[in-house]
Amino acid sequence: MLGRCENLNAFGYHSYGGRGIRVCDRWHDIAVFIADIEQEIGPRSTDRHPSGRWIYTLDRRDVNGDYEPGNVRWATAAEQQANRRR
């Protein structure tokens, strides 16, 4: 999340930080980020694919919005595919 939004050399930067998607200031503190996420949407499920990848990952509800409280959810890859900008 931070890399895609803030690191010019990160894979995918052009689709995130390069088009103005940001991470809210308070989420730069990992303890605050975890506390906010667990309070707002709950802890991530421990379910994994047979490959070992997580089934649920963090997704933005509004694909044009920032990573911030009120705009994130846990979503499967299929849910994230359906939530793409066109």
pLDDT digits (tens, 9 = 90+) for 5-18: 999 999 999 999 99
pTM for the model stands at: 0.89
**Direct distance between the N- and C-terminal alpha carbons of the chain, in angstroms, rounded to an integer:** 21
Residue 48 CA to its chain's centroid (Å): 17
Q: Which domain holds residue 47?
A: 2-82
User: Is the Cβ–Cβ distance between 5 and 67 less than 8 Å?
Assistant: yes
Q: Whole-number mean pLDDT of the chain?
A: 95
pLDDT digits (tens, 9 = 90+) for 34-58: 999 999 999 999 999 999 999 999 9
Q: How many domains does the chain have?
A: 1
pLDDT at 79 over 80: yes
